[in-house]
Structure 1
Amino acid sequence: MHVSLILLLTVLVWTFPAESVLWRGEDKQLVYFWFQQRGRVLTNEYAVKWFLFWDALTRNRTDGALVRLTTAVQPWEDWQDGDRRLREFAALAVPELGRFIPD
Structure 2
Amino acid sequence: MACFPGWVCDAVAGRSRRPKDRNEQDGTRMRSSFWSFAATLTLLGGTLAASWLSDERRPDVLAYPLASIPKKLGAWVGADAPALDEGVLRVLLPTSYVDRDYRRDSEKISVFISYYAQQRAGESMHSPKNCLPGSGWEIWDYGTAQVPVERGKVTINKYSIQNNGNRLVVLYWYQSRQRILASEYLGKVLLMRDSLVSGNTAGSLVKLTVLDRPESLASAVNFASKIIPEVQRCLGH
Normalised by the length of structure 2, the TM-score is 0.33
1:28-43 matches, cutoff 5 A: 28-43=167-182
Q: Which amino acid aligns with 2:225?
A: A
State the match for 1:62 in structure 2. 201
Distance 1:31 1:60 in 2: 31
1:11-30 matches, cutoff 5 A: 16-30=155-169
Residues 16, 42 of structure 1: 8 Å contact kept: yes
Query: Quick one: percent identity of the two aligned structures?
Result: 27
Distance 1:38 1:93 in 2: 14
Normalised by the length of structure 1, the TM-score is 0.72
Distance 2:175 2:204 in 1: 5
Question: Is 1:98 aligned with 2:232?
Answer: yes
Helix, strand or coil: the match of 1:39?
A: coil
Paired residues in the alignment total 84
State the match for 1:86 in structure 2. 220
Question: Is 1:53 aligned with 2:187?
Answer: no
Distance 2:225 2:176 in 1: 19
Higher Cα Rg, which structure: 2
Q: CA deviation at 1:88?
A: 2.6
Distance 2:236 2:226 in 1: 19
Helix, strand or coil: the match of 1:17?
A: strand
**Structure 2 residue runs without a partner (length 5+):** 1-153
Helix, strand or coil: the match of 1:52?
A: helix
Spell out structure 1 runs of 4+ moving beyond 4 A: none
For 1:46-86, what per-residue CA distance to the aligned partner results, in whole angstroms no more than 9, with x for missing partners?
1100111100100011101111111133xxxxx31221120
* Greater relative contact order structure (CA < 8 Å, 6+ sep): 1
Q: CA deviation at 1:26?
A: 2.0
**Structure 1 residue runs without a partner (length 5+):** 1-14, 74-78
Residues 64, 102 of structure 1: 8 Å contact kept: no
Q: CA deviation at 1:102?
A: 3.3
Pairwise CA RMSD of aligned residues? 1.6
Distance 1:92 1:36 in 2: 14
Helix, strand or coil: the match of 1:38?
A: coil
Distance 1:53 1:42 in 2: 15
